[in-house]
Amino acid sequence: MNVVSHKAGEITLQVRGLTTRFGTPARGATVVDGVDLALRRGRTTALVGESGSGKSATALSIMGLIEPPGRIIAGEVLLDGEDLLKLDEREMTKVRGRRIGMIFQDPLTSLNPALSIGQQIAETILAHQDVSEAEAKQRAVELLTHVGVIDAARRVNDYPHHFSGGMRQRVLIATAISCQPQIIIADEPTTALDVTVQAKILRLLHDLQQEMHASLLLITHDLGVVASMADEVLVMYAGRIVERADVDSLFHRPRHPYTKALLACMAGIEDDRSRPLEPIEGTAPDLTDPPPGCRFAPRCPVAEDRCRKQDPRLLAASDSHAVACLLAQAGPAHG
């Protein structure tokens, strides 16, 4: 399902040093810590990590949806050269939905129960385009058909509770792409859905992205989804990117111990059934009081003393592969 593009698509969204903090300067947690990422036209970038790693916070920061007590304290988010973090709320509403569309995690709670789904799709269109209500509704019907809702002309007047989870997610996808955004952010779009529906939704996302030639930022904790959808993968841990690689390199030549451990957690169909699944020991660090040195060190199976003292930065190991690990960068201390 991957379309391996031989030419690197142009960069549509460039994030540098994004840092978001919750709480007061005295007491708080930096949930997004100096994150860099670049989305390219027509390519899917996956952001992987466990719960609490800061993946969703990164997406919300890009969209400017961080609410107090959270604040974006540093970084830039460049969309077509314009820094979104410098825009005021009024200007930002013109970006949301129009140039960046976002799909959230739980379709069951993401729709307003008091409005029909047609109204909820149309209001996005009406907010950004100068069309009549009838035209917006017509476009909503077209969108619904396009995302695979049968009998769209009738169902456009139905309310969310008339739809199943998978159908609601299709509606939300239709809403997100209704104004042809350059960027689509999908935050765990299939986590709340049945397995059989997941594949269909992912396929839909992929097809739409290709059709619109948009950039897709796919946030997930499921490596299976990454394998089937992503061109480039960013692994996130405790608010930081610890590894960045194209999908083949990541799966075949992982460099960060955390990535290796994540891969080991998965069981492949071909695997020896007698081999036990290997969980990662320990729990994610408390971000209000992060450990000194490498944040993964307390749980790392190959951590050395210097890991606990020095904080590794994300360095490129090759053209398309970067890792934030002292051991991966310079090799083990001995041998």
Partner 1 sequence: MGSFLARRLLAVLPVILGVSVVIFLLIQLAPGDTATVLLGPQATEDAKRELRHVLGLDRSLPVQYLTWLARTLGGDFGVSIATQIPVVDLVLPRFLNTLILAFASLLLCIVIGYTVGLFAALRSNSIFDRLTMSLTLLAGSAPPFWLGLILVLLFAIKLRWLPVSGMQNLAGEGGFLDFLRHLILPAITTALGPAAIITRIVRSSVMEALQQPHVRVARAKGLRRQDLIRRHVLLNALPPIITITGLQLGYLLGGVLLTEVVFAWPGLGSLLYDSITARDLPVLQATTLLIALAFVLANIVVDTLNALLDPRRREA
Residues near partner 1 (CB under 8 A) are 63, 65, 89, 93-98, 102, 104, 106, 109-115, 123-124, 127-128, 172, 175-176
DSSP 82: E
Bridge partners, 315 (sequence order) = 323
CB of 160 to partner 1, least distance (A): 9
**196: which 2 tokens?**
């059989």
Q: How far apart (Å, rounded) are the C-alpha atoms in residues 235 and 143?
A: 33
- In the bound state with partner 1, the residue whose beta carbon lies nearer, of 113 and 279, is 113
- In the bound state with partner 1, the residue whose beta carbon lies nearer, of 65 and 316, is 65
Contacts of 132 (CB under 8 A, 6+ apart): none
- In the bound state with partner 1, the residue whose beta carbon lies nearer, of 74 and 108, is 108
Q: How far apart (Å, rounded) are the C-alpha atoms in residues 270 and 273?
A: 8
- In the bound state with partner 1, the residue whose beta carbon lies nearer, of 172 and 245, is 172
Q: CA geometry: angle at 241 spanning 110 and 302, to 5°?
A: 125
CB of 197 to partner 1, least distance (A): 19
The continuous run of DSSP H or E covering 141 comes out as helix 133-146
Q: How many helices (H) and strands (E) does the chain have?
A: 12, 12
- In the bound state with partner 1, the residue whose beta carbon lies nearer, of 180 and 228, is 180
CB of 162 to partner 1, least distance (A): 13
CB of 108 to partner 1, least distance (A): 9
Q: Give the residue among 241, 256, 242, 254 at the shortest CA–CA distance from 303.
A: 256
Q: Give the residue among 251, 194, 193, 186 at the shortest CA–CA distance from 223.
A: 251
CB of 275 to partner 1, least distance (A): 40
- In the bound state with partner 1, the residue whose beta carbon lies nearer, of 172 and 324, is 172
Could you tell me how far CA 186 lies from the centroid of its own chain? 6
CB of 212 to partner 1, least distance (A): 17
